[in-house]
Structure 1
Amino acid sequence: MLDQPTSPSDVDDASGQPERISPRSVTLSLGMMLTALLLAVLVVLPVPYAISSPGPTRDVLGEHDGTPLIQISGAETFDSTGELRLTTVSGTGGPGFPSSVVGVLQGWLSPWAVVQPVELLYPPDRTQDEIDESNTAEMVSSQENATVAALTELGYEVPATLVVAGTVEETDAEGKVEEGDVIVALDGTAVPDYQSLIGLLGEVEAGDTVTLTVRRHGQSLDIPIVTTEKPDGGAQIGVFIDPAFDMPVDVTISIDDIGGPSAGTMFALGIIDKMTPEDEANGKDIAGTGTIDVTGEVGPIGGIRQKLAGATRDGATWFLAPAANCAEVVDHVPDGLQVVRVETLHEAREAVTAIGAGTTDDLPTCTG
């Protein structure tokens, strides 16, 4: 019987005995094992960097997990053929979600991700629960602001009880106006809603004295207040207001996995689209971002470049960007995406209508 052939690596050519493993081979093998182990550790080793990258988008006119994002009762609603996408930023580096070496390297190589020291985004003294709670509170406030702004844009009156939540330090209101006071008039003119108060203050010059009428413990008080200047140059009375709105229409916004205030503008546009018979978006896929206050002013947000990339990835061809973010948009628009600059909800509504109608030549951009 013939023996089975043996591989040369199994025997010594001269003696037929098994070949001894040299010390050099052992050293090389151990070195490779240690290198592999070190690389494996580096893959999962947390590093002190935060990574911001394009997050998911949601069509506010559609559903998520079988539930409509916007539900309206107390008014007639209409279907739409288009999409209005809120945009988000995904991030690592916060408490409980550390970034890895591999993630940082990928972020540095990506044109749409931002890598920065973790302390710039996440204060070391804040827990993840505190961050989540803050983001949730901002989202709830954003939804309320969006509802008020949308209903006001549609011509509804939205009464509000203007409850004072505190005063601004070193203003004339400090020590005069108290937390819990209810503002009922300014210079003798009733303010049944927040818009009325803002409108009256718009007629006042910073430094003027106004008479603020408040209800305190059931009594009416007239308080003279010397106004101060807001950052935009207008007049302010130096109080923080926590308005309690009496909504004429019941609007419910259902989104549990996204926090922060930056979806406000898109929520407001979604409410308007659902409550008007016109098909504003008319089959177009429009994304956007921006905070919104109850007066309909669109405010800046963070992560605009990541949101532009996320919108393009998910099929949007148009993007509504807050005017205050335009400097970050220039030269960073993905191919196939057109960006419209907006400052107010009314401008955003007109932009959506123009996009749906195909009459976009006169829409303002971030470059002109």
Structure 2
Amino acid sequence: MLEPQQSSPPPPAAGPPARAEKSGRASRTLMGATTAAVVLGFVALALPAPFVVESPGPAINTLGSVDGTAVIRVQGHETFPTSGSLDLTTVYVSGGPEREVSTFEVLQGWLDPSQDVLPEEAVYRRGVSGEQVSEQNTQEMADSQSVAVAAALGNLGIAYEQKLSVAGLAAPTNEGVLGVGDVLASIGGTPITDLAMLREELQAAGDAPVALGIERGGEPRTVEAATTAGEDGQRQLGVYLQTTYDFPFQVSFDLDNVGGPSAGMMFALGVVDTLTPGELTGGRHFAGTGTIDADGNVGAIGGIAQKMAGARSLGAEYFLAPAENCAAVAGRIPDGLTVLKVATLAEARAAVEGVAAGKDAASLPACP
């Protein structure tokens, strides 16, 4: 009987199998490198970046209420019902001392036309803490509200008192002569009415000492104060000054979690509307932004593109923009929003009243 023969396995091939083995190792290496690159990419996107991202924030009607409480409350003076909207506008700011943004958030900001990405140092000074930023924003908001009331009362012809007091020493020029809390009442025997008047009198005195009437602890006294010339040539006392106001009635604002000075103009318009008969807006929907001083001058602000976007998303038809911001407005106006240029509270009021009365907005000063 013949046994079946067992055949020996063929010798290994010398060519193609070796190439396949090498190709497999290369594929595994490539896959590993790709995986590592992807992981490193995600890690890089998650890393903090030294930028700030500005995006549209909410708009709040100064004529309305928040959580059932009126934004503007007046005690001691007649108020009048009104309608329409005078929205103050806000910006969400991501990044900076309070919270770092990731590279991914920065990339998103660059791709989103409603957002702006700025170097952190263009927004915050180096070394400032989140707590300091929060305190500054809160103080600026409180100051803007007081100044807004002053501007509104001035616009309405309602008298009030303002006082300049020493907030701190900026130089040793008058150390021991002036102190924190001193109220500056007169210069050379003339009552001090405001900061501009004080600056004029200091400049007129040249390098000669000036006689300042002050109140310290409620007691009047006269001191002789020296001045120095600043970089711009303006004579200075070497002190930080703050303005306090004494209004004939109380105006308060109920608004949390919003900081900075940029709502000043809209607060002032809201106060004007609250204190005057009729509807300033004619029932229309206005929004706006801008700082304000006691004389009613409107100043530039940041984030105006985001504020316009936020206002339009909530139905605003007209937007009051500081004249100094018109260059930043160009090319960023949302569809359906008319942007009116204002430099003073009087101009802002006239624009609102004009539109409310049926005036063609195209005939009013506007940002391009």
Q: Say if 1:57 and 1:310, in contact at 8 Å, map to a contact too.
A: yes
What does residue range 70-85 of structure 1 map to in structure 2 within 5 Å? 70-85=72-87
1:179 counterpart residue number: 180
The alpha-carbon distance between structure 1 residues 162 and 117, as it changes in their structure 2 partners (threshold 3 A), is closer
C-alpha displacement at 1:33, in angstroms?
6.1
The alpha-carbon distance between structure 1 residues 28 and 331, as it changes in their structure 2 partners (threshold 3 A), is closer
Q: How far, CA to CA, are the matches of 1:153 and 1:129 in structure 2?
A: 36
What does residue range 197-216 of structure 1 map to in structure 2 within 5 Å? 197-198=194-195, 200=197, 206-208=203-205, 212-216=212-216
The alpha-carbon distance between structure 1 residues 187 and 227, as it changes in their structure 2 partners (threshold 3 A), is farther
C-alpha displacement at 1:77, in angstroms?
1.7
- Report % sequence identity: 43
In structure 2, give the amino acid aligned to 1:118: E
Q: How far, CA to CA, are the matches of 1:69 and 1:185 in structure 2?
A: 37
1:50 counterpart residue number: 52
Q: How far, CA to CA, are the matches of 1:327 and 1:169 in structure 2?
A: 38
C-alpha displacement at 1:44, in angstroms?
3.5
Q: Say if 1:149 and 1:294, in contact at 8 Å, map to a contact too.
A: yes
Q: Which range moves more in the overlay, 59-68 or 207-216?
A: 207-216
The alpha-carbon distance between structure 1 residues 177 and 53, as it changes in their structure 2 partners (threshold 3 A), is same
The alpha-carbon distance between structure 1 residues 253 and 346, as it changes in their structure 2 partners (threshold 3 A), is same
Q: Say if 1:317 and 1:338, in contact at 8 Å, map to a contact too.
A: yes
1:119 counterpart residue number: 121
Q: Aligned pairs, how many?
A: 340
Q: How far, CA to CA, are the matches of 1:51 and 1:242 in structure 2?
A: 32
2:154 counterpart residue number: 152
Q: How far, CA to CA, are the matches of 2:247 and 2:267 in structure 1?
A: 16
3-state SS, counterpart of residue 156 of structure 1: coil
Q: How far, CA to CA, are the matches of 2:268 and 2:228 in structure 1?
A: 31
3-state SS, counterpart of residue 307 of structure 1: helix
Q: How far, CA to CA, are the matches of 1:207 and 1:332 in structure 2?
A: 46
The alpha-carbon distance between structure 1 residues 343 and 128, as it changes in their structure 2 partners (threshold 3 A), is same
1:16 counterpart residue number: none
Cα deviations by residue, 1:232-252 (Å, 9 ceiling, x for unpaired): x99877653323322222112
Whether 1:260 and 2:260 are equivalent positions in the alignment is yes
In structure 2, give the amino acid aligned to 1:143: Q
Q: Say if 2:55 and 2:306, in contact at 8 Å, map to a contact too.
A: yes
Q: Say if 2:164 and 2:195, in contact at 8 Å, map to a contact too.
A: no
Whether 1:365 and 2:351 are equivalent positions in the alignment is no
2:138 counterpart residue number: 136
Unaligned runs of 5+ in 2: 1-22
C-alpha displacement at 1:295, in angstroms?
2.3
Q: How far, CA to CA, are the matches of 1:161 and 1:317 in structure 2?
A: 39
Q: How far, CA to CA, are the matches of 1:267 and 1:206 in structure 2?
A: 34
1:281 counterpart residue number: 281
Q: How far, CA to CA, are the matches of 1:200 and 1:120 in structure 2?
A: 33
Q: How far, CA to CA, are the matches of 1:305 and 1:332 in structure 2?
A: 6
Whether 1:324 and 2:324 are equivalent positions in the alignment is yes
Cα deviations by residue, 1:4-58 (Å, 9 ceiling, x for unpaired): xxxxxxxxxxxxxxxxxx9678778767765665555455332222111222211
TM-score (norm 2): 0.79
1:11 counterpart residue number: none
In structure 2, give the amino acid aligned to 1:126: V
Q: How far, CA to CA, are the matches of 2:93 and 2:364 in structure 1?
A: 32
Q: Which range moves more in the overlay, 348-357 or 31-40?
A: 31-40
1:7 counterpart residue number: none
Q: Which range moves more in the overlay, 101-110 or 180-189?
A: 180-189
1:103 aligned to 105, 111, 128, which one?
Answer: 105
Cα deviations by residue, 1:201-236 (Å, 9 ceiling, x for unpaired): 5876944457542234634216477696897x9987
3-state SS, counterpart of residue 278 of structure 1: coil
Cα deviations by residue, 1:101-127 (Å, 9 ceiling, x for unpaired): 332122111223221332332345222
Q: How far, CA to CA, are the matches of 2:268 and 2:245 in structure 1?
A: 16
The alpha-carbon distance between structure 1 residues 40 and 261, as it changes in their structure 2 partners (threshold 3 A), is same
1:343 counterpart residue number: 343
Larger Rg belongs to: 2
Bigger helix share: 2
The alpha-carbon distance between structure 1 residues 229 and 37, as it changes in their structure 2 partners (threshold 3 A), is closer
The alpha-carbon distance between structure 1 residues 356 and 120, as it changes in their structure 2 partners (threshold 3 A), is same
Q: How far, CA to CA, are the matches of 1:130 and 1:203 in structure 2?
A: 34
1:304 counterpart residue number: 304
Q: How far, CA to CA, are the matches of 1:235 and 1:281 in structure 2?
A: 44
TM-score (norm 1): 0.79
Whether 1:188 and 2:189 are equivalent positions in the alignment is yes
Q: Say if 1:319 and 1:337, in contact at 8 Å, map to a contact too.
A: yes
1:9 counterpart residue number: none
For the aligned residue pairs, the C-alpha RMSD in angstroms reads 3.3
3-state SS, counterpart of residue 273 of structure 1: helix
3-state SS, counterpart of residue 194 of structure 2: helix
Cα deviations by residue, 1:69-102 (Å, 9 ceiling, x for unpaired): 1111212222222101111111211234222233
Q: How far, CA to CA, are the matches of 1:72 and 1:78 in structure 2?
A: 11
Q: Say if 1:320 and 1:339, in contact at 8 Å, map to a contact too.
A: yes
